[in-house]
A and B are shown apart, each in its own frame.
Chain A
Amino acid sequence: MHPLKRFIVKLNGIHHSLWSLLLLYSVTVSAEPEVVSEAYFFDELPVALGATRLAQPLADVPTAMTIINKEMIEASGAMSIPDLLRLVPGFTVGFYAGSRATASYHGLVDQYARDMQVLIDGRSIYDPGYGGVSWADMPIDMDDINRIEVIRGPNATAYGSNAYAGVINIITNHPADAYGNKIISTIGESGRKRIHGMHASQISDFSYKLSASYEEGDGFHEREDSYDTSSFYFHGDKDLDRDNQLQIILGASRGTYEEGFSDILQKVRELDNTYNFQQLNWFHNKNDSNHFQVQFYHNHLKVEDAYESPLISDMVLDLEQLQAIPEPLRLDFFAMQMGAANFNDFLSAADINNGRFIISWLGLSSHRYDLEFEQTLKPSDHFRFAWGGGLRRDEAKSIQNFHQYEPITRDQARIFANSEWYAKNDLVFNVGGMLEDFEGEPPLFSYRGAVNFHIDKQNTFRINSSRAYRMPTLFEEHVNFVVFLDEPLNDINTWIKTQQDLDPQVINSLEIGYHGNFNESGVTVDVKIFKEKYRDIIISYRDFDFPDPDRGLADTTVIDNFNLLIHEGAVNYINDGEADIRGIEVDAHFKPTHRDLLYFGYSYLHTEGREIAWKNEGVIQHDNDVNRRAPSHTFSFLGSHRFGSGFQISTAYYFTDNVTWYGEGDNIPSYSRWDARLSKSFHLFSKDAEISLLIQNINHDNLDFYNSAPYINKWERNAYLQAKLEF
């Protein structure tokens, strides 16, 4: 008999029919899903924020750190990450083209900021080819950023050998923090237009975020550096079960950038950059005290930059110095200047034909593959420990830069461990080390030891000593930049060539810091006094003695004379620089109410050192004026107030002292910049909307990075209008 039929028979046999009905009613009531039952108050819940997943509080962090949160990003009106980094004490930011920037801590930098490790959601975006970060190619919108943590000081024990001067850790909005749709459109002076769209949602246990952006602009007024970039980004998070999460992040971008200027060896050209990355993370919570993650990522940057000159004879005819000579005589006159009887004799004596130069200043393709395992343990209430290991392959390929078709690779293996020990309630020790084994190099050991002493709940002092290394980039180590004639490997002039093995740079840092956290008044202050010793700095200098290819000639007089017109000697990279930087930095936040925000940043740097300047006829010249390589003073201020009516007004002020950039950069006099932003939030058809007006460089024009013809980068007052709609 079917159980239900048996049940009905039994019911029929019962006399208390009323009670039966009541019972059935009560069963019906209790079978309804309760919104809240008493068991709900006692149910165990999955531990989302176990001790192993929590970030260290600022008072316990071993190094000085500046946090730029979402509110600050919005208030600053910054339209790019480098712009935002102007807020950070000790930072030097330079735009070497309208949309392309370099940013580093404590100066000593050219257009490739090789001393900084930069991560987005745990993925290093440091380019192994040239070094630094190709900021303009990163598929990330300012609106996608949740916060930026800037570690001011070496931190190789946690982030590896590129975390040399500091670390920029960018954390984007998790899909779950951004559910919905958003469109942001910006239009303004200098031809700047940007549109960004974002959609984030959830399908069962899978959260995802999709975004796409397009931007174009004219760049600096007096430069031919217009640009356009488009990008795509995807972030998906899947909860496999209570203790396992899978994360996949993908992104791609494409950009074209005007570059160069017109002279005998080049004309304005267009770089065609492509960038893509793939990142996969698996997070596993073994228990509340044992968490680990495995991460794999791949980054790829390709810069297409090819220039083919006119025929040599046409270039000669265009030479400014020969314009006084009648055109029919110019070629032979030129040849005589080179030591030949006539132009044909010149070609023959130099063993060249009347061909075209092939040059690519920036053309390069790079890959980074990285696999890392990290486990965090909390064996006791007072001790937390993270350890792990990783494997990395860096690859770069460029016939023009490396003089070979095959890619150059470098493998790295690493193990690391960091511990946080609360010896007493008021005493925290942070000790860590990283051992890195680079292919063909002796192992490198970076370390850090720090003690944080809490005077009371508000006041903390810390002392921190660390050592970190920076490996030479693949470009620095293997560059053999050659001007070819007609086809690759037909060398005519060597422009840049590293002539010896390079060692890693090393930095030793000592920091004494104070951190004050006054919750009740909304004040946070961090003061840092420090001394940094940079040794074996990798410097580029002009070696005038470096011979160009002799092309198999016994007498190289003519080709040597000709090469002097193209490029005299060659640039060489060498470990021949050192700098001592001492100084003080202040980072202060004040949030008197939830409507107000004030931030101050200040740094004073005293820089001393020496560096190789040039080599000529066997004489090596050094330069002791290294103090010009880092700004003595930087100051930043950000203030914002939200009115109840939906209006917000904010302003930012930045000052950077005189600095001389390395590489192709120039001396830039001290400058100040004042920005202001006014915005109004409102509802549009019951959707959240905001419109804002941003004015940059209100006070006066400013030079940036280049300050000598034909490159003069000058920021002018620019106004932008931005509209945002969330639905």
Chain B
Amino acid sequence: MLSICLAFSFTSALSVANEPANKTLLILSGDSSVYQQAADQTISLIKHKCTAENHSCQNMDFKKIVFTDISNIHSDAKLIITFGTKAASQPQIYRGNHIVIRAMLPKQSSIVQKQGISKHSNIDVYIDQPYSRYFELISTTLPRANRVGLLIHESNEALVKPLRDAAKSMGLTLNTRVVTNTTETGKQLSRLLDDIDVFLAIPDSRIHNNKTISNILMTSYRNNIPVVGFSSAYVRAGAIAAVYTTLDNIATQVAETAFNVLNENLVTLKNEQAVYFSVSINFDVARSLGITIPSESEVKNILNTAPKK
């Protein structure tokens, strides 16, 4: 059904072709507030930066569309910014000499894993945190925790080494259990909990999803093991802490990257880790587990000043 809808939009969206040169096109993966808010904030910050720097881009025209409205773009836009995987998956955006900033991309998304459809000039801005930041968060909030537990899907086993290296650089030990089938998540978790001080959830919908996280959180809590997550929702659900990228964080980083592109400041096109981040702490859970944690701003400051490894 989706393919039918897209085919219709392909024939009816010619109106966005032949964009003016001094133009930035922002393509959203949907019309939900998540994308709208990120795009609006990005536009606002770019404009602000251009004005502050008195750069020619202050007169730039910004056009924001949902990916379903771009079927045939022969755009001469100077810059295209995509928000999310669906927008970045549209082949039309890679036609032309412009640079594409692909924002809000999870590292584990298929488009990143397949290195994109074209060999176009792209800058990927990941939504994920660098692994080291998770371990910095653990060291900061749970100084007594030495053994970090992780469930990893068998198809992601290659991630274990970089994760283990990142943990080691913080003086932590990473204990992992491999999940081959999503139905055995609970079994592997219960065995893992015997050998760890904190459980780390990294983004993988096969392991952490609406159906499983209640059990993960409850089982860990019953065993007095705090969970560190990757989203504020995880913290609201019962994780003790999380480090993650907010829409404002995304917009700030994308705006800076966009300004550098427009200012032709970029020496090389390089994919970017999430530079800006936020920290959430569930003080109810911390208190219930008898754990004292500094405030969110203190933790964030410590993470900001942590030496980059």
Contacts and interface: CB of A to CB of B under 8 A. Distances in A.
Interface of A: 3-4, 7, 10-11, 14, 16, 19-20, 22-27, 29-32, 34-51, 54-60, 69-70, 146, 171, 174, 176-180, 201-202, 205, 207, 239, 242, 457-458, 517, 519-520, 522, 524, 594, 688, 726
Interface of B: 2-4, 6-8, 10-11, 29, 32, 34, 71-72, 83-86, 89-92, 104-111, 114, 117, 127, 143-144, 146-147, 153, 155, 183-184, 186-187, 190-191, 193, 197, 203-206, 210-211, 213-215, 217-219, 221-224, 230-231, 233-234, 236-238, 244-245, 247, 282, 284-285, 287-292
B233 A519 contact: no
A290 to B, nearest CB: 15
Nearest to A23: B10
A38 B292 contact: no
Query: Can you list the 3 inter-chain pairs with the closest CB atoms, starting with the nearest?
Result: A49-B238, A179-B187, A48-B217
B106 A37 contact: yes
A45 B104 contact: no
B111 A29 contact: yes
Contacts of B230: 41
B267 to A, nearest CB: 28
B72 A44 contact: no
Q: Is the interface of A mostly helix, strand, loop or mixed?
A: mixed
A57 B287 contact: yes
Contacts of B291: 519
A37 B109 CA distance: 6
Given A27-B2, A47-B238, A38 B91 contact: no
Contacts of B127: 38, 41
Contacts of A37: 84-85, 106, 109, 205
A70 B225 CA distance: 13
A57 B110 contact: no
Contact of A180 (B111, B183, B190): B190
A10 B89 contact: no
B271 to A, nearest CB: 15
A45 B6 contact: no
Contacts, number: 200
A44 B34 CA distance: 12
B221 A594 contact: no
A38 B85 contact: yes
Contacts of B92: 19
Nearest to A593: B146
A31 B3 contact: yes
Given A32-B110, A41-B127, A522-B144, A49 B6 contact: no
Contacts of A207: 186, 215
Contacts of B84: 37-39
Given A23-B10, A31-B2, A36 B91 contact: no
A51 B210 contact: no
Contact of A27 (B6, B114, B292): B6
Contacts of B85: 30, 34, 37-38
14 contacts: A10-B7, A10-B11, A19-B91, A30-B89, A34-B205, A35-B108, A35-B110, A38-B106, A38-B127, A40-B205, A49-B221, A50-B238, A51-B284, A519-B143
Contacts of A49: 217-218, 221, 237-238, 282, 284-285
Contacts of A178: 190
Contact of B288 (A30, A43, A54, A174): A54
B285 A45 contact: no
A176 B186 CA distance: 6
Contact of B234 (A30, A45, A180): A45
B290 A59 contact: yes
B236 A41 contact: no
Nearest to A381: B284
Given A35-B205, A177-B222, A46 B214 contact: yes
B224 A69 contact: yes
Contacts of B221: 48-49
**Residue with the highest number of chain B CB atoms closer than 10 Å, among A25, A31, A202:** A202
Contacts of A41: 106, 127, 203, 230-231, 244-245
A448 to B, nearest CB: 20
A433 to B, nearest CB: 24
Contacts of A519: 143-144, 290-292
B210 A45 contact: yes
A57 B7 contact: no
A179 B117 contact: no
A532 B251 CA distance: 63
A58 B146 contact: no
Nearest to B233: A45
A176 B91 contact: no
Contact of A23 (B91, B146, B190, B193): B91
B59 to A, nearest CB: 31
A60 B287 contact: yes
A517 B290 contact: yes
A56 B210 contact: no
B125 to A, nearest CB: 11
A36 B7 contact: no
B214 A48 contact: yes
**Residue with the highest number of chain B CB atoms closer than 10 Å, among A34, A207, A242:** A34
Contacts of A457: 292
Given A46-B213, A176-B215, A30 B290 contact: no
B89 A29 contact: yes
A51 B284 CA distance: 6
A169 to B, nearest CB: 13
Nearest to B145: A594
Nearest to B106: A36
Given A41-B127, A59-B290, A594-B147, 17 more contacts: A30-B85, A35-B205, A36-B109, A36-B203, A36-B204, A37-B109, A38-B29, A42-B247, A49-B238, A57-B290, A174-B219, A176-B218, A177-B193, A177-B223, A520-B144, A522-B144, A594-B146
B285 A54 contact: yes
A72 to B, nearest CB: 12
B66 to A, nearest CB: 14
A458 to B, nearest CB: 8
Contacts of B83: 38
B237 to A, nearest CB: 4
A180 B288 contact: no
Contacts of A201: 187
B231 A42 contact: yes
Contact of A26 (B91, B104, B215): B91
Contact of B237 (A24, A29, A45): A45
